[in-house]
């Protein structure tokens, strides 16, 4: 009897871990990204992310970060990621090399002084970038693959249904944490996509996963 119990126990040890942990290759990951904050809606969005155990990347504007320091800290304290979205939200391709550097460095300094974190990711304002501008930027540039167009559509249901209709594995979803309607759309998007098996992670976590899985980079 003792022998049989020992045998059963050994089998359990061998098989239980592989049963309980889902293989990473089947994970449906998407990255939620927010531009143009922090704003008065950012804190509510973080609370919503917490409610659903999600994480996101916030591309902040430097001159807004400096006047919303508590919110900036809240982004980090809740396991989210902060990235650089320029200091004044200009059309980068219209600027010279010194002005581009200033836009980026001023924002990196503010983020570092408030959170102690040096941002690695950059998203150009208006997505305005070309090859020449790219060469002047010494950060990882992150665009998007699923555009909510929440700046354009005024109805939160329209915003939510666009994102949900177009969703695919490894998507980078672009939203703005500067509109009430974006927050309301998220309240539909998150539970709906979680029910479809998607997990919301920061861009860096999605990127690392893609590298590990040898999926093409962005």
Q: By C-beta, is 33 or 125 nearer to Zn ion? A: 125
Window 116-155: residues binding Zn ion (CB under 5 A) = 125
- 171 is a contact residue toward Zn ion (CB under 5 A): no
- Is 171 an annotated catalytic residue? no
Q: By C-beta, is 36 or 171 nearer to Zn ion? A: 36
- 103 is a contact residue toward Zn ion (CB under 5 A): no
- Nearest Cα residue to 84 out of 120, 31, 127, 129: 120
* Catalytic hit among 35, 36, 150, 177: 35
- Is 36 an annotated catalytic residue? no
Total residues in contact with Zn ion, by rule CB under 5 A = 3
Residue 182 near residue 37, CB atoms below 8 Å: no
Q: Which string of x and - marks every residue 22-61 that binds Zn ion (by CB under 5 A)? A: -------------xx-------------------------
What is the pairing mode between strands 56-60 and 28-37?
parallel
Residue 177 near residue 158, CB atoms below 8 Å: no
* Catalytic hit among 55, 85, 89, 176: 176
Q: Is the peptide bond before 200 cis (omega within 30 degrees of 0)?
A: no
Give the integer Cα–Cα distance in Å for 101 and 84: 12
Q: By C-beta, is 34 or 198 nearer to Zn ion? A: 34
- 177 is a contact residue toward Zn ion (CB under 5 A): no
Element of type H or E holding 174: strand 172-176
DSSP secondary structure letters along 118-156? ---EE--GGG---HHHHTT--SEE---SEE--TTT---H
Q: By C-beta, is 151 or 194 nearer to Zn ion? A: 151
Q: Report, as residue numbers or ranges, the catalytic residues.
A: 35, 176
List interacting residues with Zn ion (CB under 5 A).
Answer: 35-36, 125
């Amino acid at each position: 009897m003792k022998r049989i119990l020992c045998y059963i126990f050994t089998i359990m040890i061998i098989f239980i871990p592989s049963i309980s942990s889902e293989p990473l290759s089947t994970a449906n990951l998407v990255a939620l990204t927010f531009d143009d904050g922090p704003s008065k809606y950012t804190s509510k969005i973080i609370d919503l992310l917490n409610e659903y155990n999600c994480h996101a990347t916030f591309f902040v504007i430097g001159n807004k970060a400096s006047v919303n320091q508590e919110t900036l800290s809240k982004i980090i304290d809740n396991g989210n990621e902060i990235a650089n979205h320029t200091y004044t939200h200009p059309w980068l391709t219209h600027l010279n090399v010194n002005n581009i550097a200033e836009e980026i460095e001023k924002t990196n300094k503010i983020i570092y002084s408030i959170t102690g974190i040096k941002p690695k990711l950059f998203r150009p304002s208006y997505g305005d970038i070309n090859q020449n501008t790219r060469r002047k930027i010494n950060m990882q540039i992150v665009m998007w693959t699923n555009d909510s167009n929440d700046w354009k559509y005024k109805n939160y249901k329209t915003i939510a249904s666009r994102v949900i209709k177009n969703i695919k594995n490894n998507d980078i979803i672009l939203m703005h944490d500067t509109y009430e309607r974006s927050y309301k759309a998220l309240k539909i998007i998150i539970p709906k996509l979680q029910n479809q098996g998607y997990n919301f992670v920061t861009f860096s976590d999605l990127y690392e996963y893609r590298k590990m899985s040898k999926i093409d980079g962005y």
